[in-house]
Amino acid sequence: MPNFKEVRIRIASVLSTKNVTSAMKMISVAKLRKAQKALLQLRPYANKMSELLSSLSDNVSDAECFKFFNRNSNKKILLVILTSNRGLCGSFNSNIIKATNSYIKTKFSDQFNAGNLSFITIGKKSFDYYKKQYSGKILANYIDIVDKLNFNDTIPISESLIKYYLDGTFDQIYIIYNKFKNAAVQAVTLEQYLPIPQLSDYVVNPSITQQPSKIYSDYIYDPDKNEILNVLVPRSLKIQFYKCLADSVTSEHGSRLTAMSSATDNADELYNSLKLAYNKARQQAITNEILEIVSGANALKENNN
């Protein structure tokens, strides 16, 4: 058993850690509440836009061959990886990295081996990890956007993704991120960003995105179908990209809240354990001192006799 001074230092250290984790927990509560409210307001609109585009994708004929629905090739792949800038958020970042590495070895193995797989990292954690292995494959990295998420700031990124697809730099673009369910649960999701998924894609791979609840495919276009799509599709793609980022940021706050709550509880348990051990040792030391005094007094008494 360490001496009293060492135990007191450990107790003080645990209390200090508890104060930090408790403060971070309260901050995460406030940030999560704000981010979750914004996400829940955005999701219905974004999901309906996604359903509409998927329906249009199924009904675009080969003759029309609209550019955003073109599926002629899957040779060149761009993977957009969404993580956070900071740690202390449980397995939030590690889950994304593990899933990405798994997809590289399975789903995108052919493109990776052929040198046709590239990355865009959003968040410092993914950039720090992949720059060591695939520095030449990282086209861009965005850090500041994660801390202060704003729709207008995401537009240049989504526009660059659209440009990569339209000019033929990449045949397919995927986004991998944590989809928010609740503070304790975030699901790693691989979402096909471009080309726009068809309804059949939901059946083949339900994890690509949320499965549409009901699709209306009989539309009347005015003034012109292509003219409407040329305006509607880019706008919807910008919203879908922003929704993925909002999901990721909300998941980060939820994961950090859970991690800090668990850390605070663990600090409480450790403090109580150390305090109990300290009190027992202190009581034992006092008892030993009393026994020594009594023994000394008895010895003196016997000597006098």
Beta strand residue intervals within the chain, DSSP E? 77-82, 117-122, 138-142, 172-182, 185-194
In the chain, where the domains are located: 4-22+260-304, 26-257
The rounded distance, in Å, linking the Cα atoms of 282 and 259 is: 34
The rounded distance, in Å, linking the Cα atoms of 258 and 25 is: 8
Ranges 51-65, 168-182, 243-257, 271-285: which has the least confidence: 51-65
Beta strand residue intervals within 74-137, DSSP E? 77-82, 117-122
Supply the pTM of this predicted model: 0.82
The rounded distance, in Å, linking the Cα atoms of 179 and 183 is: 11
Confidence (pLDDT) at 230: 76
Torsion of CA 234, 237, 243, 246, to 10 degrees: -70
Longest dimension (CA), the chain: 121
pLDDT digits (tens, 9 = 90+) for 235-288: 889 999 999 999 999 999 999 999 999 889 888 888 888 888 888 877 877 887
Q: Which tokens hold the place of 116?
A: 């046709």
What average pLDDT score do residues 49-55 get? 75
Sheet holding 172-182, edge to edge: 138-142, 117-122, 77-82, 172-182, 185-194
Beta bridge partners of 182: 185
Residue with more model confidence, 299 or 252: 252
The rounded distance, in Å, linking the Cα atoms of 265 and 263 is: 5
Q: Which tokens hold the place of 49?
A: 């836009």
Q: Is the pLDDT of residue 63 over 50?
A: no
Fold of the CATH domain 4-22+260-304: Helix Hairpins (1.10.287)
Confidence (pLDDT) at 61: 55
Confidence (pLDDT) at 103: 94
Q: Is the pLDDT of residue 203 over 50?
A: no
CB 252 within 8 A of CB 178: yes
Per-residue pLDDT band at 139 (split at 50, 70, 90): very high
Superfamily in which the 26-257 domain is placed by CATH: ATP synthase, F1 complex, gamma subunit (3.40.1380.10)
